[in-house]
Amino acid sequence: MKSLGILGLLAALLVSMGTISCSDDNLVAPYSGYAVQFVGLVSDDPFACGTYNNIGTGNDEFFVDDFRFFVYDVQLRRADNDALVALDLSETPWQHDGLALIDFETGVSGGCNGTIATNTLAFGTAPEVEYDGVCFTMGVPFEMNHIDAGTAPAPLNSVGMQWNWNGGYKFLRIDGQGDPNGSPVNWNVHLGSTSCTPTGDPSTPAISCDNPNRVQVCLDSYDPDQNVIAADIGDLLSGADVGVNTAATAAGCMSAPDDPECPAVFDELGLDHQVGPFTDTDGQGFFSVQ
Protein backbone atom coordinates (compact mmCIF):
# COMPACT_ATOMS: atom_id res chain seq x y z
CA MET A 1 0.00 0.00 0.00
CA LYS A 2 1.44 3.29 -1.07
CA SER A 3 0.54 5.15 2.09
CA LEU A 4 2.73 2.88 4.15
CA GLY A 5 5.62 4.00 2.00
CA ILE A 6 5.11 7.59 2.87
CA LEU A 7 4.30 6.91 6.50
CA GLY A 8 7.35 4.77 6.91
CA LEU A 9 9.49 7.39 5.31
CA LEU A 10 8.03 10.12 7.47
CA ALA A 11 8.30 8.13 10.65
CA ALA A 12 11.94 7.36 9.96
CA LEU A 13 12.55 10.97 9.16
CA LEU A 14 10.77 12.24 12.24
CA VAL A 15 12.65 9.89 14.49
CA SER A 16 15.92 10.82 12.87
CA MET A 17 15.13 14.49 13.39
CA GLY A 18 14.21 13.84 16.99
CA THR A 19 10.93 15.68 16.67
CA ILE A 20 8.51 12.95 17.55
CA SER A 21 6.63 14.09 20.58
CA CYS A 22 4.23 11.68 22.17
CA SER A 23 2.34 13.81 24.63
CA ASP A 24 0.38 12.09 27.32
CA ASP A 25 -2.59 14.46 27.32
CA ASN A 26 -6.17 13.44 26.63
CA LEU A 27 -5.38 11.76 23.36
CA VAL A 28 -5.35 8.05 23.86
CA ALA A 29 -4.15 7.26 20.38
CA PRO A 30 -0.39 7.15 19.85
CA TYR A 31 0.99 9.76 17.48
CA SER A 32 1.99 8.89 13.97
CA GLY A 33 3.39 10.73 10.98
CA TYR A 34 0.94 12.22 8.50
CA ALA A 35 1.51 14.19 5.34
CA VAL A 36 -1.01 16.46 3.70
CA GLN A 37 -0.09 16.48 0.04
CA PHE A 38 -0.94 19.25 -2.40
CA VAL A 39 -0.91 19.01 -6.16
CA GLY A 40 -0.81 21.99 -8.51
CA LEU A 41 -3.17 21.91 -11.48
CA VAL A 42 -4.16 24.16 -14.35
CA SER A 43 -7.68 23.20 -15.51
CA ASP A 44 -7.17 19.61 -14.32
CA ASP A 45 -3.75 19.25 -15.96
CA PRO A 46 -0.66 19.02 -13.78
CA PHE A 47 1.02 22.39 -13.36
CA ALA A 48 4.32 22.99 -15.08
CA CYS A 49 5.80 26.26 -16.24
CA GLY A 50 4.28 26.74 -19.69
CA THR A 51 1.25 27.74 -21.74
CA TYR A 52 -2.30 26.48 -21.16
CA ASN A 53 -5.44 26.98 -23.27
CA ASN A 54 -8.95 28.19 -22.48
CA ILE A 55 -8.21 30.06 -19.27
CA GLY A 56 -10.66 32.59 -17.85
CA THR A 57 -13.75 34.19 -19.29
CA GLY A 58 -11.98 35.08 -22.54
CA ASN A 59 -10.79 31.48 -23.10
CA ASP A 60 -7.30 32.86 -23.46
CA GLU A 61 -4.00 31.15 -23.75
CA PHE A 62 -2.22 31.66 -20.44
CA PHE A 63 1.49 31.28 -19.78
CA VAL A 64 2.14 30.41 -16.12
CA ASP A 65 5.63 30.64 -14.66
CA ASP A 66 5.27 30.72 -10.88
CA PHE A 67 2.99 28.94 -8.41
CA ARG A 68 3.54 28.93 -4.63
CA PHE A 69 1.55 29.50 -1.46
CA PHE A 70 1.81 29.33 2.31
CA VAL A 71 -0.49 27.24 4.51
CA TYR A 72 -0.78 27.09 8.28
CA ASP A 73 -3.09 25.82 11.01
CA VAL A 74 -3.40 22.45 9.28
CA GLN A 75 -6.00 20.28 11.05
CA LEU A 76 -7.32 16.80 10.36
CA ARG A 77 -10.92 15.85 11.15
CA ARG A 78 -11.40 12.62 13.11
CA ALA A 79 -13.80 10.18 11.47
CA ASP A 80 -15.08 8.90 14.84
CA ASN A 81 -16.15 12.16 16.49
CA ASP A 82 -15.63 14.97 13.91
CA ALA A 83 -13.12 16.68 16.21
CA LEU A 84 -10.43 18.74 14.49
CA VAL A 85 -6.93 17.68 15.45
CA ALA A 86 -3.91 19.83 14.80
CA LEU A 87 -1.27 18.34 12.55
CA ASP A 88 1.88 19.20 14.47
CA LEU A 89 4.18 20.25 11.63
CA SER A 90 7.83 19.22 11.85
CA GLU A 91 10.55 21.87 11.69
CA THR A 92 12.22 21.79 8.26
CA PRO A 93 13.46 24.40 5.81
CA TRP A 94 9.96 24.30 4.28
CA GLN A 95 8.08 24.33 7.58
CA HIS A 96 8.42 26.58 10.61
CA ASP A 97 6.16 27.06 13.61
CA GLY A 98 3.15 25.46 11.96
CA LEU A 99 3.63 27.30 8.65
CA ALA A 100 4.49 25.47 5.41
CA LEU A 101 5.51 26.82 2.00
CA ILE A 102 4.01 24.80 -0.85
CA ASP A 103 6.08 25.38 -3.97
CA PHE A 104 5.18 23.87 -7.35
CA GLU A 105 7.41 25.95 -9.60
CA THR A 106 10.69 24.45 -10.74
CA GLY A 107 12.71 27.50 -11.49
CA VAL A 108 14.55 29.53 -13.93
CA SER A 109 14.83 27.75 -17.27
CA GLY A 110 12.95 29.23 -20.21
CA GLY A 111 11.50 32.32 -18.61
CA CYS A 112 10.21 30.43 -15.59
CA ASN A 113 10.35 32.13 -12.22
CA GLY A 114 11.42 30.74 -8.88
CA THR A 115 13.58 27.95 -7.55
CA ILE A 116 14.52 24.46 -8.66
CA ALA A 117 13.43 22.91 -5.37
CA THR A 118 9.76 22.07 -4.91
CA ASN A 119 7.65 21.15 -1.91
CA THR A 120 4.19 19.60 -2.05
CA LEU A 121 3.79 18.46 1.55
CA ALA A 122 2.75 19.79 4.91
CA PHE A 123 3.78 16.98 7.23
CA GLY A 124 4.01 16.25 10.92
CA THR A 125 2.43 14.17 13.62
CA ALA A 126 -1.13 13.56 14.78
CA PRO A 127 -2.95 10.83 16.73
CA GLU A 128 -3.11 7.60 14.79
CA VAL A 129 -6.86 7.42 14.07
CA GLU A 130 -9.08 7.49 11.00
CA TYR A 131 -9.53 10.91 9.41
CA ASP A 132 -12.17 12.02 6.93
CA GLY A 133 -11.61 15.76 6.54
CA VAL A 134 -8.99 18.50 6.55
CA CYS A 135 -8.88 22.22 7.36
CA PHE A 136 -6.11 24.73 6.80
CA THR A 137 -5.56 28.42 6.18
CA MET A 138 -3.80 29.72 3.09
CA GLY A 139 -1.62 32.59 4.22
CA VAL A 140 0.92 33.55 6.84
CA PRO A 141 -0.34 33.99 10.42
CA PHE A 142 -0.65 37.59 11.52
CA GLU A 143 2.05 37.30 14.18
CA MET A 144 4.56 36.05 11.58
CA ASN A 145 3.46 38.20 8.67
CA HIS A 146 5.03 41.45 9.81
CA ILE A 147 8.44 40.36 11.06
CA ASP A 148 11.67 41.71 9.56
CA ALA A 149 11.93 39.95 6.21
CA GLY A 150 15.69 40.54 6.15
CA THR A 151 16.28 38.21 9.09
CA ALA A 152 13.30 35.84 8.82
CA PRO A 153 13.84 32.08 9.18
CA ALA A 154 13.10 29.64 6.36
CA PRO A 155 10.64 29.36 4.68
CA LEU A 156 9.92 33.05 5.35
CA ASN A 157 13.35 33.89 3.93
CA SER A 158 12.03 33.18 0.42
CA VAL A 159 12.50 36.54 -1.26
CA GLY A 160 10.06 35.57 -3.99
CA MET A 161 7.28 35.56 -1.42
CA GLN A 162 8.39 38.76 0.27
CA TRP A 163 5.94 41.62 -0.03
CA ASN A 164 7.59 44.13 2.14
CA TRP A 165 6.23 47.26 0.57
CA ASN A 166 2.89 46.12 1.93
CA GLY A 167 4.26 45.07 5.31
CA GLY A 168 4.02 41.31 4.96
CA TYR A 169 4.33 38.33 2.65
CA LYS A 170 2.57 37.11 -0.45
CA PHE A 171 0.27 34.33 0.73
CA LEU A 172 -0.25 33.04 -2.81
CA ARG A 173 1.86 33.78 -5.83
CA ILE A 174 0.88 32.92 -9.39
CA ASP A 175 2.73 34.72 -12.16
CA GLY A 176 1.50 34.56 -15.71
CA GLN A 177 0.76 36.20 -19.01
CA GLY A 178 -2.53 36.18 -20.92
CA ASP A 179 -2.41 35.73 -24.68
CA PRO A 180 1.37 35.16 -24.66
CA ASN A 181 1.56 34.65 -28.44
CA GLY A 182 -0.72 37.51 -29.45
CA SER A 183 -0.77 40.75 -27.48
CA PRO A 184 0.68 39.59 -24.16
CA VAL A 185 -0.84 40.92 -20.94
CA ASN A 186 1.06 40.32 -17.71
CA TRP A 187 -1.50 38.83 -15.35
CA ASN A 188 -0.42 37.77 -11.87
CA VAL A 189 -2.23 36.80 -8.70
CA HIS A 190 -0.46 37.97 -5.56
CA LEU A 191 -2.60 37.56 -2.46
CA GLY A 192 -1.67 39.23 0.80
CA SER A 193 -2.92 41.48 3.58
CA THR A 194 -3.57 45.09 2.56
CA SER A 195 -4.35 48.41 4.20
CA CYS A 196 -2.04 47.68 7.12
CA THR A 197 -1.26 50.32 9.71
CA PRO A 198 1.69 50.12 12.09
CA THR A 199 1.26 50.97 15.74
CA GLY A 200 3.98 53.61 15.65
CA ASP A 201 6.08 51.75 18.19
CA PRO A 202 9.19 50.48 16.38
CA SER A 203 9.85 47.91 19.11
CA THR A 204 6.68 45.98 18.29
CA PRO A 205 5.79 44.51 14.92
CA ALA A 206 2.12 44.94 15.79
CA ILE A 207 0.18 46.12 12.81
CA SER A 208 -3.46 45.93 12.03
CA CYS A 209 -4.68 45.18 8.53
CA ASP A 210 -8.13 46.17 7.31
CA ASN A 211 -8.05 43.38 4.72
CA PRO A 212 -6.33 40.28 6.16
CA ASN A 213 -7.14 38.25 3.01
CA ARG A 214 -6.37 34.88 4.60
CA VAL A 215 -8.27 31.97 3.05
CA GLN A 216 -9.79 29.44 5.44
CA VAL A 217 -10.42 26.09 3.82
CA CYS A 218 -12.20 22.97 5.09
CA LEU A 219 -12.60 19.95 2.83
CA ASP A 220 -14.66 16.79 3.32
CA SER A 221 -13.98 13.24 2.17
CA TYR A 222 -10.29 13.59 2.85
CA ASP A 223 -8.08 10.81 4.13
CA PRO A 224 -4.40 11.78 4.28
CA ASP A 225 -3.41 8.25 3.36
CA GLN A 226 -5.58 8.18 0.25
CA ASN A 227 -6.21 11.70 -1.03
CA VAL A 228 -4.43 14.82 -2.16
CA ILE A 229 -5.55 18.44 -2.19
CA ALA A 230 -5.60 19.98 -5.64
CA ALA A 231 -5.05 23.71 -6.14
CA ASP A 232 -6.27 24.54 -9.63
CA ILE A 233 -5.25 27.80 -11.31
CA GLY A 234 -7.92 27.25 -13.99
CA ASP A 235 -10.61 27.21 -11.31
CA LEU A 236 -9.11 30.25 -9.58
CA LEU A 237 -9.16 32.26 -12.81
CA SER A 238 -12.48 30.92 -14.12
CA GLY A 239 -14.20 34.27 -13.60
CA ALA A 240 -11.28 36.47 -14.64
CA ASP A 241 -10.32 37.77 -18.07
CA VAL A 242 -6.58 37.18 -18.24
CA GLY A 243 -6.35 38.98 -21.58
CA VAL A 244 -7.30 42.33 -20.03
CA ASN A 245 -5.76 44.46 -17.31
CA THR A 246 -7.01 47.89 -16.28
CA ALA A 247 -4.43 50.57 -17.06
CA ALA A 248 -2.44 52.00 -14.13
CA THR A 249 -3.36 49.09 -11.88
CA ALA A 250 -1.17 46.14 -10.90
CA ALA A 251 -0.64 43.52 -13.61
CA GLY A 252 -3.48 41.14 -12.82
CA CYS A 253 -4.62 41.15 -9.20
CA MET A 254 -2.10 41.99 -6.51
CA SER A 255 -4.77 42.39 -3.84
CA ALA A 256 -5.15 46.18 -4.08
CA PRO A 257 -8.55 47.09 -2.61
CA ASP A 258 -9.39 49.21 -5.67
CA ASP A 259 -8.13 46.86 -8.40
CA PRO A 260 -10.99 45.87 -10.74
CA GLU A 261 -9.15 42.63 -11.63
CA CYS A 262 -9.45 41.36 -8.05
CA PRO A 263 -13.14 40.60 -7.37
CA ALA A 264 -13.26 37.67 -9.80
CA VAL A 265 -10.18 36.11 -8.19
CA PHE A 266 -11.27 36.88 -4.62
CA ASP A 267 -14.67 35.28 -5.30
CA GLU A 268 -12.99 31.97 -6.10
CA LEU A 269 -11.07 32.25 -2.83
CA GLY A 270 -14.24 32.93 -0.88
CA LEU A 271 -12.98 36.39 -0.02
CA ASP A 272 -14.87 39.66 -0.28
CA HIS A 273 -13.31 42.54 -2.19
CA GLN A 274 -14.39 46.11 -1.92
CA VAL A 275 -14.71 46.66 -5.66
CA GLY A 276 -17.26 43.81 -5.46
CA PRO A 277 -19.90 42.66 -5.84
CA PHE A 278 -19.28 39.44 -3.91
CA THR A 279 -21.12 36.81 -5.90
CA ASP A 280 -19.56 33.47 -5.03
CA THR A 281 -21.40 32.59 -1.87
CA ASP A 282 -20.44 28.92 -1.94
CA GLY A 283 -16.97 29.57 -0.59
CA GLN A 284 -13.66 28.94 -2.27
CA GLY A 285 -13.31 26.99 -5.52
CA PHE A 286 -9.52 26.90 -5.68
CA PHE A 287 -8.86 23.84 -3.51
CA SER A 288 -10.52 20.44 -3.91
CA VAL A 289 -9.98 16.88 -2.70
CA GLN A 290 -8.74 14.40 -5.29
Partner 1 sequence: MRRSAFLASLKRRGALTGAVCLCLFQSIACSGGTESAAGAQGYVFDLPAGFPAPQVPADNPMNADKVELGRRLFYERGLSTGGNISCATCHQQRMAFSDGLTGGVGSTGEVNRRNSMSLTNTAYQATLTWANHHLRTFEEQATIPLFGEFPVELGLDDVSFPNALAGLEADETYAALFRDAFPKSENPVTKENLLKAIGAFQRTLISGNSAFDRGELSASALRGSQLFFSERLECFHCHGGFNFSSSLDHEGNLLDEISFHNNGLYNVGGTGDYPASDQGLIEVSGNDADMGKFKAPTLRNIELTAPYMHDGSIATLEEVVDHYAAGGRTIDPPDPNAGDGSANPHKDVLISGFIISAQEKQDLINFLKSLTDWEFVCNPMLSDPFGHIPPHASCTP
What does the binding site for partner 1 look like in residue numbers (CB under 8 A)?
Answer: 2, 5-6, 9-10, 13, 35, 37, 39, 41, 44-46, 92-94, 107-108, 113-117, 119-121, 123, 146, 148-151, 153-155, 157-160, 162, 164-167, 194-198, 200, 202, 207, 210-211, 228, 247-251, 254, 256-257, 290
Residue 13 vs 23, nearer CB to partner 1: 13
CB of 200: closest distance to partner 1 in angstroms? 7
Per-residue DSSP letter, 91: P
CB of 251: closest distance to partner 1 in angstroms? 8
**Rounded CA gap, 134 and 126, in Å?**
12
Burial label, 231 (beta-carbon count in 10 A; 0-12, 13-18, 19+): buried
Residue 1 vs 28, nearer CB to partner 1: 1
CB of 80: closest distance to partner 1 in angstroms? 25
CB of 34: closest distance to partner 1 in angstroms? 12
Residue 112 vs 135, nearer CB to partner 1: 112
Contacts of 274-282 with C-beta under 8 Å, sequence gap 24+, read 274/211, 280/239
Provide the pairing of β-strand 185-186 with 131-138. unpaired
Residue 77 vs 173, nearer CB to partner 1: 173
Residue 28 vs 248, nearer CB to partner 1: 248
CB half-sphere exposure, 250, CA atoms < 13 A: 17
**Rounded CA gap, 102 and 277, in Å?**
30
CB of 24: closest distance to partner 1 in angstroms? 27
Q: Under DSSP, is residue 233 helix (H, G, I), strand (E, B) or coil?
A: helix
Neighbours of 227 (CB within 10 A): 17
Residue 132 vs 225, nearer CB to partner 1: 225
Residue 10 vs 240, nearer CB to partner 1: 10
Q: Write phi, then psi, for 76 (nearest 5 degrees).
A: -105, 145
Q: Please compute Rg for the chain using Cα positions.
A: 19
Contact of 86 with 112, CB cutoff 8 Å:
no
The sign of the CA dihedral 261, 173, 214, 232 is positive
**Rounded CA gap, 72 and 89, in Å?**
9
CB of 19: closest distance to partner 1 in angstroms? 12
CB of 277: closest distance to partner 1 in angstroms? 19
CB of 17: closest distance to partner 1 in angstroms? 9
Residue 27 vs 274, nearer CB to partner 1: 274
